[in-house]
Structure 1
């Protein structure tokens, strides 16, 4: 497929994980990609795209800094002739502290990157996308933003905000033909979760990773990236203001006592 031929795309958090996987897939489908990241991983992603014959530029960018976001949007417009897709994916974890051990500086920083970042992406990308006749903005939220149990208070609150932001932005962009949706990843093997996956492999306990979801495994970044590409593409032309859980079925159930139902579906 070449769903993004002639399209200009910004991916934040493109230096690793879901962002890198999405940047590579966007480019493989014909898109011109601005790989943005606060680390030099963006340069490596752009190099990988170029080596595969794709079009890419890299930019060092703090997703929660308004001047940085403006600079990235203007670079995409000047380099690629406009902007069609913004994948606001960058985020930080905020650790594992509970409410009482989370200080104000930590939650402020998590909200700055994880929530203000997507807000800035919408604010500055949407007008440029509308100029091209419409397109898509995709935000990375989390199952932690749907309900308790999948992240720290700071992280969970920030991702709940992202889900609501997608809904509000979709409404406020009515008539612009700019769609705004979010993906809500479950446990995915990225830089953020690397310690968990590394420990499980070293301890021979990979069978326990993701065991609470019906698929009983964690996800790979490409599995999330493909959903982001779907939402960014014309295949999702009537999907707007939605938060799509991509979590192996984890969020489909309330907590229950695990049982053996006596048979296995074939």
Structure 2
């Protein structure tokens, strides 16, 4: 019960990693503000309360400052302050290349994926600092580490999130508020659902994640558990870092890989 009576905001909590994290935070005693732009927030909050946990749902656009201010205020009013903020909301922006990406699209991706975490820090960190310590976790991506894991718009936004975590950790020096970035690899979420659905229907699940050493994609709870680690006192000396959770994908430069127990060809 690492989060007993702690006030926690999870954005993008209507599905996927956000929903998994919100339910796990609540299961460990946290009081969770479940924030999402969709009605999925209500479903997640209901799941938590039905299981005996504490949660309140709110509709929030992560890239709208008034929405972020209102959500932080809700956590403070309902739960007496703010201890943890998991800024997880994001969109993919499709897979168009640089030359086919509309400026309006990349602007929208940056608004949600990068401006959203910036606003979360801007308005959440001062409230967390009042508690004497706490944590902010930002969902970035392995696409933000290097090329090959997402579109130009998505990759650029997530690279920004990784740098934002480092800058924020420095600018919060002395506050005892830690800021880290979680970098998922291929994970089965609403964003990747079409890919996983196609693989299942075509009997090609063995091809998903085949480029990483574990030869599979991840489930949302596998990422959520790492987010909880970063938010908890177990990670009390982890600050300003980007942690890749990708089955080992980003551990290597492109090579011809020899699978364990097989002869190289």
Cα distance change, pair 139–260 in 1 and its aligned pair in 2 (3 A) = closer
Tell whether 2:186 aligns with 1:187. yes
For 1:244, the equivalent position in structure 2 comes to 243
**How far apart in 2 are the matches of 1:131 and 1:6?**
16
How is 1:68-87 mapped onto 2 (pairs within 5 angstroms)?
68-87=67-86
State the match for 1:30 in structure 2: 29
Q: CA deviation at 1:259?
A: 3.3
CA distance in 1, matches of 2:166, 2:59: 29
Number of residue-to-residue matches in the alignment: 263
Return closer, same or farther for 1:196/1:177 CA change in 2, 3 Å cut-off. Answer: same
TM-score (norm 1): 0.98
User: Aligned partners of 1:8, 1:261: CA distance in 2, in Å?
Assistant: 45
Aligned counterparts of 1:189 and 1:227: Cα–Cα separation in 2:
16
The structure-2 alpha-carbon separation of the partners of 1:212 and 1:124, relative to structure 1 and needing over 3 Å to count, comes to same
Aligned counterpart, 1:53:
52
Residues 61-82 of structure 1, C-alpha deviation per residue, up to 9 Å, x if partnerless?
0000000000000000000000
SS, match of residue 59 in structure 1 = strand
State the Cα deviation string for residues 86-127 of structure 1 (Å, max 9, x = none): 000000001000000001100000000000000000000000
Q: 2:108: which partner in 1?
A: 109
Distance in 1 between the 2:60 and 2:175 partners? Answer: 27
User: Any unmatched runs of 5+ in structure 1?
Assistant: none
Q: What root-mean-square deviation, in Å, do the aligned CA atoms of Structure 1 and Structure 2 show?
A: 1.0
Aligned to 2:161: 162
Q: Quote the Cα distance in structure 2 between the aligned partners of 1:261 and 1:174.
A: 45
Find the aligned partners of 1:261 and 1:75 in 2 and give their Cα distance.
51
Which 5+ residue runs of structure 2 have no aligned equivalent? none
TM-score by length of 2: 0.98
- Per-residue Cα deviation, 1:159-217 (whole angstroms, up to 9, x for no partner): 00000000000000000000000100000000000000000000000000100000000
> Does residue 99 of the first structure (1) align with residue 98 of the second (2)?
yes
Structure 2: distance between partners of 1:262 and 1:245: 26
Residue of structure 2 in register with 1:89 after alignment: 88
Q: Distance in 1 between matches of 2:95 and 2:21?
A: 27
